[in-house]
């Protein structure tokens, strides 16, 4: 059984509330497997914002976000038979998000980035909220955010994901190992080199 995580929503399985929640989830999964449409809608409604947020944060862009959210749920519905219930459904979905994001990062690396159509394509609700406050602060926050994503984009996809999951999402090695499907020792090695690369870029030593 995996450890507790603030991001993936796993919690103490022994508490009655958690046990009830897991039972509800198992029932929902059972109904989805049976092809019940209302259950699929319910699953989508429950998890759509979490999936959207995960993808948005890991990729840092809103363009194609709707396609990616759809892709995650299509994969989830088609693969629900393989969900064994060892992890929470949200964790399982997170794992799919990671794989979809990894595929997108790789695809993006293979072809030149399209010209953003509008500033909004690069910004999200977070930048928008910041903009509404103090313009100078907002600009600075936006530049810092862009710097972080530029540094991430300069990294190889696997390292990028590991660094993101650890340094930004705050997951531990074991959780990351489950999400990326690698051994924890591999994750630790990847993280070691990823940190060096990332912070060197952030510190401006590459420039």
Partner 1 sequence: MSRRGHVPAHRLAAAAAGRLGERDRRRISRHLERCRRCAAAGERIARARAAMDRIATAEPPDIGWEQIGVRLYWETSSARYAALRRERRPWWRRRAPLVAGGAGVLAAAAAAAVIALGARGGDGGGAAPVAAPAPATSPGAAADAPAERPPAPDERPAALAGVVTFARGEVLVDGAPLPLDALFDRSIAAGAELSTGGDGRLVVQFGHRSGLALEPDSRARLRRFDRGGIELEVDGVVELDLAPREPGQTFDVVAGRHRISVRGTAFRVDHRDGALEVACAHGRVVVSDGEREVALDGGHSLALLREVVLDRAARRPIDPARLARLEESLAAPLLPAWTEPRALFETSSRLEMAAAPGRRVRVDGAWVGEGSFALRVMSGRHHIQVADERGAWGPGAWIEAEPGGSQAARAADGGLVVAGARASASAVASAAAPDAPRRPAAGRREARRLRSAQLAAALDESSRARQCIEPLEKRDLAAGSRVLFDIGVNPDGSQGHLNVVESNVPSAVERCLRHLVDSVDLPAGPAATVRYEFAFE
Binding stretches for partner 1 (CB under 8 A): 7, 35, 37, 40-41, 44-45, 48-49, 52-53, 55-57, 60, 62, 65-67, 69-71, 73-74, 77-78, 114, 117-118, 124-126, 128, 130, 140-141, 144-145, 147-148, 151, 167-170, 195-196, 198-200, 202-205
Closest distance to partner 1 from the beta carbon of 70 (Å)? 5
Q: What is the DSSP string of the chain?
A: -----SSS----TTSHHHHHHHHHHHHHHHHHHTT-HHHHHHHHHHHHHHHHHHHHHHH---TTHHHHHHHHHHHHHHTGGG--SSS-HHHHHHHHHHHHHHHHHHHHHHSPPPPPSSHHHH--HHHHHHHHS-HHHHHHHHHHHHHHHHHHHTS-HHHHHHHIIIIIS---HHHHHHHHTS-HHHHHHHHHHHHHHHHHHHTTTT-
As measured in angstroms, the least distance from the Cβ of 141 to partner 1 is: 7
Of the two residues 78 and 82, which places its CB atom closer to partner 1 in the complex?
A: 78
Separation between Cα atoms, residue 61 and residue 5, nearest integer Å = 25
Nearer to partner 1 among residue 22 and residue 195 (C-beta): 195
CB of 160 to partner 1, least distance (A): 13
Q: Minimum Å distance from CB 23 to partner 1?
A: 25
Q: Using only C-alpha atoms, what is the Rg of the chain?
A: 18
| Residue with smaller CB distance to partner 1, 28 or 202 | 202
- Return the number of the residue (58 or 87) whose C-beta is nearest partner 1: 58
| Closer Cβ to partner 1, 21 or 146, answer by number | 146
In the bound complex, what is the minimum distance in angstroms from residue 100's beta carbon to partner 1? 9
């Amino acid at each position: 059984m995996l450890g507790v995580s603030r991001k993936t929503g796993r919690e103490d399985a022994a508490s009655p509330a958690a046990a009830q929640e897991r039972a509800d989830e198992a029932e929902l999964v059972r109904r989805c497997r049976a092809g019940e449409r209302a259950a699929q809608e319910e699953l989508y409604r429950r998890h759509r914002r979490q999936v959207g947020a995960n993808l948005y944060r890991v990729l840092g862009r809103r363009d194609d976000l709707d396609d990616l959210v759809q892709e995650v749920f299509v994969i989830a519905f088609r693969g629900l038979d393989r969900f064994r219930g060892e992890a929470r459904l949200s964790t399982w979905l997170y794992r799919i998000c990671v794989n979809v994001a990894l595929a997108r990062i790789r695809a993006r690396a293979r072809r030149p980035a399209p010209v953003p159509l509008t500033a909004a394509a690069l910004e999200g609700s977070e930048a928008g909220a910041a903009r509404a406050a103090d313009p100078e602060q907002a600009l600075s926050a936006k530049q810092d955010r862009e710097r972080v994503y530029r540094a991430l984009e300069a990294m190889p996809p696997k390292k990028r994901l590991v660094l993101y999951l650890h340094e930004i999402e705050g997951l531990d090695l074991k959780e990351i190992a489950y999400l990326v499907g690698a051994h924890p020792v591999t994750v630790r090695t990847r993280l070691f080199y990823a940190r060096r690369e990332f912070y060197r870029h952030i510190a401006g030593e590459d420039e």
